[in-house]
Amino acid sequence: MDALFKALSDPARRTLLDSLRMRDGQTLQDLQTHLDMTRFGVMKHLGVLETAGLITTKKVGRFKHHYLNALPLQQAIDRWIEPLLVKPAARAVLDLKTQLEGDRAMQKPDFVMQTYIRTSQDRLWDALADEKNVAHYHFMASHANRDGDRTTMFLPDGTALMSNVILKTDPKTRMECTFEPHWEGGGAPSRVIYLMQPEGDFVKLTIEHYDLTFPVVPGEGVADGWARWAAGLKTWLETGNDAHFGSASFA
For 188-231, give the DSSP string: S-EEEEEEEEEETTEEEEEEEEE--SS---TTSHHHHHHHHHHH
Query: Is residue 107's pLDDT more than 60?
Result: yes
The pLDDT score that the predictor gives to residue 96 is 39
Is residue 161 within 8 Å of residue 141, measured between CB atoms?
Answer: yes
Task: Please report, to the nearest 10 degrees, the dihedral formed by the alpha carbons of residues 105, 146, 157, 186 taken in order.
Answer: 20
CA dist., res. 160 & res. 251, Å (int):
16
Q: How far apart are CA 235 and CA 230, in angstroms?
A: 8
**pLDDT reading at 86 higher than 60:** no
pLDDT for residue 108 is more than 80: yes
The full set of domains in the chain, from first to last, is: 1-68 (1.10.10.10), 90-251 (3.30.530.20)
Whole-number percent of the chain with pLDDT over 70: 84
Q: Between these two residues, 160 and 90, which has the higher pLDDT value? A: 160
- Binned at pLDDT 50, 70 and 90, residue 113 comes out as very high
Mean pLDDT over the full length of the chain: 85
Report residue 154: phi and psi, to 5°: -125, 145
DSSP secondary-structure letter at 227?
Answer: H
| Nearest alpha-carbon partner for 179 in 210, 137, 202, 205 | 210
List the Cα angle 52/54/55 in 5-degree steps. Answer: 115
| Chain centroid offset of residue 82 CA | 21
User: Beta-strand (E) ranges in 120-159?
Assistant: 143-147, 150-154
Residue 80, pLDDT > 70, answer no
| Mean of pLDDT values over 172-195 | 92
Q: Which residues contact 40 (CB under 8 A, 6 or more apart)?
A: none
List Cβ neighbours of 86 (8 Å cut-off, separation of 6 or more).
none
Is residue 201 very low, low, confident or very high in pLDDT (cuts 50, 70, 90)?
A: very high
Identity of residue 163: S
Q: What is the C-alpha to C-alpha distance for residues 226 and 157, in angstroms, rounded to an integer?
A: 22
DSSP-assigned beta bridge partners for residue 65: 58
pLDDT at 139 over 60: yes
Whether residue 70 has pLDDT greater than 90: no
Residue count (the chain)? 251
Mean pLDDT of 163-170: 92
| pLDDT higher than 70, residue 217 | yes
What local confidence, expressed as pLDDT, does residue 208 receive? 95
DSSP label of 107: P
